[in-house]
A and B are shown apart, each in its own frame.
Chain A
Amino acid sequence: MSIKILEKKILADVLGSKIVQIKVPAKDVAAYAKAGQFIVLMVAEEGERIPLTIAGVDKDKTAITIIFQEAGLTTRLLGKLEPGDSLYALAGPLGHPTEIGENEDVFIIGGGVGIAEIYPVACAFKAKGNRVTTILGARTKELLILEEELKKVSDNFYITTDDGTYGQKGFVTDVLKNLLAAKKPCNLVYAVGPIPMMRKVSETTKPFSVKTLVSLNALMVDATGMCGCCRVSVGGKTRFSCVDGPEFDAHEVDWDELIKRNKIYCDKEQHICKLSFK
Chain B
Amino acid sequence: MRKEPVKIKEVEAPVRSGNFEEVILGYSEEEALREAARCLQCKNPLCSSGCPVGIDIKTFIHKITQKDYAGACSTIRQKNNFPSICGRVCPAEYQCRKACVLTKRGERFATPEAINIHFLERFAGDYGMNNPANRQSGAKCIDAKAKKVAIVGSGPAGICCAGELARAGIKVVVYEGLHKLGGVLRYGIPPFRLPRNILDYEIESLKKMGVDFVPNFIVGRNKSVDELLKEFSAVFLGLGAGIPSFLGIKGENLCNIYSANEFLTRVNLMSAYKFPKAHTPVNIGKSMVIIGGGNTAMDAARCALRLQKMNGLNPDTTVLYRRSEVELPARRLEIEHAKEEGIKFKLLVKPEEFLGDEKGFVRKLRCLQCELGEPDASGRRKPIEIPGSGFEVDCDIAVVAIGLNANEILTKVTPALKVDKYGDVVVDENTMETSIKNVFAGGDIVGGEGTVIEAMGMAKRAAKSIIEKLCNQR
Q: Is B276 an interface residue (CB 8 A)?
A: yes
Q: Is A179 an interface residue (CB 8 A)?
A: no
Q: Is B40 an interface residue (CB 8 A)?
A: no
Q: How far is the CA of A210 from the CA of B217 in the complex (A)?
A: 38
List of B residues within 8 angstroms of A265 by Cβ: 281, 283
| CB-contacts of B401-429 with A (<8 A) | 407-409
Q: Is A146 an interface residue (CB 8 A)?
A: no
Q: Which residue of B lies closest to A43 (CB)?
A: B279
B221 and A221 within 8 A (CB): no
Surface stretch bound by B, among A5-13, A63-71, A89-97: A89-97
Instruction: Evaluate whether A32 and B359 lie within 8 angstroms (CB atoms) in the complex, with A46-B277, A221-B265, A225-B409 already known.
Output: no
Q: A243 is contacted by which of B253, B359, B409 (Cβ under 8 Å)?
A: B409
Q: A89 is contacted by which of B216, B221, B243 (Cβ under 8 Å)?
A: B216
List of A residues within 8 angstroms of B177 by Cβ: 91, 222, 224
Instruction: Evaluate whether A222 and B221 lie within 8 angstroms (CB atoms) in the complex, with A48-B280, A260-B360 already known.
Output: no
Q: How far is the CA of A22 from the CA of B244 in the complex (A)?
A: 34
Q: How far is the CA of A9 from the CA of B4 in the complex (A)?
A: 71
Return 15 A-B CB contacts under 8 Å, by A number.
A28-B223, A91-B218, A221-B265, A224-B407, A224-B409, A225-B407, A226-B242, A228-B243, A232-B253, A260-B359, A261-B360, A264-B255, A265-B283, A268-B276, A272-B275
Kindly provide the distance from the CB of B261 to the nearest chain A CB, expressed in whole angstroms.
5
B179 and A226 within 8 A (CB): no
Q: How far is the CA of A200 from the CA of B160 in the complex (A)?
A: 52
Interface size on B, residues (CB 8 A): 42
Kindly provide the distance from the CB of A259 to the nearest chain B CB, expressed in whole angstroms.
8
Q: Is A181 an interface residue (CB 8 A)?
A: no
List of A residues within 8 angstroms of B275 by Cβ: 268, 272
List of A residues within 8 angstroms of B276 by Cβ: 268, 271-272, 275-276
Surface stretch bound by A, among B42-50, B78-86, B266-274: B266-274
Give the 3 A-B residue pairs with the shortest CB-CB distance, closest first: A260-B360, A227-B262, A89-B179
Q: How far is the CA of A275 from the CA of B270 in the complex (A)?
A: 19
Q: Which of B216, B246, B256, B261 has the most CB of A within 10 A?
A: B216
Q: How far is the CA of A46 from the CA of B275 in the complex (A)?
A: 9
Kindly provide the distance from the CB of B39 to the nearest chain A CB, expressed in whole angstroms.
41
Q: Is B222 an interface residue (CB 8 A)?
A: yes
B218 and A224 within 8 A (CB): yes
Q: Is A229 an interface residue (CB 8 A)?
A: yes
List of B residues within 8 angstroms of A260 by Cβ: 254-255, 359-360
List of B residues within 8 angstroms of A42 by Cβ: 179
A221 and B280 within 8 A (CB): yes
